[in-house]
Amino acid sequence: MAPPQRANVKDVAARAGVSVGTVSNVLNRPDVVSKATLNKVKAAMSELNFHRNASARHLRAGISSTVGVVVQDIRNPFYTELTRGIEDRLTEDDQSLIICSSDSDPLREARCLRMLAEQGVRGVLITPTSVGTQNLNGLAGMGISWVLMDTELPGQPCVSVDNVLGGYQAVAHLLERGHRRIGILAGAEGRQTSDQRCQGAVKAVVEAGLDPAEVLKFVRLNDHNANAGQAATRELLDSANPPTAIFTINDIVALGVLREARARGIEVPQQLAVVGYDDIFLAQELMVPLSSVRQPMWGLGWAAADMLLDDTDHPPFTPDLIVRASSDYQRS
């Protein structure tokens, strides 16, 4: 069965017994229409359940009201919350959004950007798969602007978080709790946010007067999910000198660490401390609440959309370590 046909301006004009031009004036210049005619046209709109076609209106004006958003995986609560911040800011200016996931794949990212360009978006907000604008360069020729999220790139519009400080906070906390063998479940080499957090981890160890080569053991992950976290934890715990603490690239990976600890009967935090990153809403709801470096996820999205719409500059956000039961234990 075909869906009912959407009422248009001509339908409203016929129902109200006025010209199409009068309906147009009601929509765009109601001040030039008499009160009686205004009420008659509005009644017809209500009876026909008429809603103006914003896409067509913006197309005629040559201005799009849609923004493209490309994140690495919308299933990750970090990107979900970030996207909500974007949506809330866009709604203030009556803008809509199209969301794509790149799956950290440059080829898929390129396809997403091509599709968004074909849709005629006014701009793109993106967490890029690599530090660079290779996939974005084609947008410039079409007059489509962009903002990089959770990324720092000189000369480009970016919103970011001080990831070096975040890594420093997490590892300094673990050192203060007496840990001297710390596993780091990081992202693939060259991923900017992960590399910066690793730099912060090394900085904390050096400032404590210790040798990073002796204290830190890095495991690079291609996937940033719980299964990858569990597999990496298995590798660390089966090594000759297993860590007493693990710091992860995000909270979802940390869930895999906790899963493997539970499977082995390892007590958290007495035998293994765990610190995640992002502080997603689930972190404090776990049976052993998860310590995590909090990022302003919603704020990142809001700031990125604000930068795109109003060209408003936003300095890097500051992370904040939230200590909970998963690491709040002093080793002797």
Of 321, 149, 300, the closest CA to residue 247 belongs to 321
pLDDT value for 108: 93
pTM: 0.80
pLDDT value for 53: 58
Nearest-angstrom CA–CA distance, 253 and 226: 4
Q: What is the mean pLDDT of the chain?
A: 90
pLDDT digits (tens, 9 = 90+) for 166-205: 999 999 999 999 999 999 999 988 889 999 999 999 999 9
pLDDT digits (tens, 9 = 90+) for 41-99: 999 988 888 776 554 454 444 567 899 999 999 999 999 999 999 999 999 998 999 99
Quickly count: other Cβ atoms within 10 Å of residue 48's Cβ. Answer: 16
Nearest-angstrom CA–CA distance, 20 and 8: 10
pLDDT digits (tens, 9 = 90+) for 20-32: 888 888 887 888 8
Domains of the chain: 9-52 (no CATH), 65-159 (3.40.50.2300), 163-295+317-322 (3.40.50.2300)
Of 69, 70, 64, the closest CA to residue 120 belongs to 64
Name the residue with higher pLDDT: 321 or 119: 321
Instruction: Name 43's Cβ contacts closer than 8 Å, sequence gap at least 6.
Output: 16
